[in-house]
Amino acid sequence: MRILLVEDQIVLLKALRQGLEEEGFAVDTASDGEEADGKARATAYDVIVLDIMLPKIDGLTLLKRWRSSGMNTHVLMLTARGTTDDKIAGLDCGADDYLTKPFELDELLARIRALIRRGHQKKDPFIRIQDLVIDTAARSISRGTKKIALTPREYALLEFLAFHAGAVVTRTMIWEHLYDEYDENTSNVVDVYIRYLRNKIDKGFEHPLILTKWGEGYMLRANDDVDISQDEPLVEVAKAEKLKKK
């Protein structure tokens, strides 16, 4: 998932960015309010981590502007001020959560994961699709009785597909949510990681869960797709239809 991290203390900004990236998040950064405002309006982030005390435009003013313009991205506010009045002010401006400095990285990660689940209307940290189980808290995967080890990037891709199970996601959607402004990969890296995932998630199982919609994107089977015994991967159906038209 893609996060905008807004913090003017450069040492802390770099440390948090590294910690988030090691967990598989795509992270854009901003060190002042103006830069944060431009990036937040240009990109559909999954979560914005926003410090209150910022140069140029403070965090509370930014948040008020975003909410008044209709921006509904989940915002986690960071502040060195831990009084009740400060917390109330942040929440009343439209913050979804609040974390007082200093804090542990693990707590920040847990709160971000909770906000991402809330954005997809999922309270349960376990996502169950067919015989696939994703533990979003432990970031662990199993299919049937098989435990599956994924890299952070592979996990991020699978989780994104799972949050949209039953719906086609385009390569552009995947790219915008899983890759940050600093990433130098080319767009075909999405297809490469889909192939990696298929080798780990579908290989050795009778029915594939990761399907390709020819010319559109990819899809993870939904739970209500109960009659999978006679189903075919969408890519094969699409290729057949294409050949019929020739």
Do residues 54 and 23 share a domain?
yes
In angstroms, the CA 173 to CA 177 distance is 6
Query: Angle CA(151)–CA(156)–CA(159) in degrees, nearest 5?
Result: 120
**Domain stops at, among 102, 119, 136:** 119
pLDDT at position 238: 40
pLDDT at position 242: 43
User: In the structure, what pLDDT confidence band is assigned to residue 158 with cuts at 50, 70 and 90?
Assistant: very high
- Tokens 């103006």 sit on residue: 34
Range of the domain at 157: 126-245
Number of domains in the chain: 2
User: In the structure, what pLDDT confidence band is assigned to residue 186 with cuts at 50, 70 and 90?
Assistant: low
Q: Measured between alpha carbons, how far is residue 172 from residues 67, 195, 205, 218 in Å? A: 26, 17, 28, 11
**Domain stops at, among 69, 84, 119:** 119
For the whole prediction, is pTM greater than 0.85? no
Q: Residue 170 above 80 pLDDT?
A: yes
Q: Residue 185 above 90 pLDDT?
A: no
Q: Are strands 169-170 and 217-220 parallel, antiparallel or unpaired?
A: antiparallel
Do residues 77 and 32 share a domain?
yes
For 11-32, what is the mean pLDDT? 95
pLDDT at position 187: 64
**Domain stops at, among 84, 119, 154:** 119
For 127-142, what is the mean pLDDT? 93
Buried b (16+ CB within 10 A) or exposed e, 63-77: bebbeeeebebbbbb
Mean pLDDT (the chain) is: 87
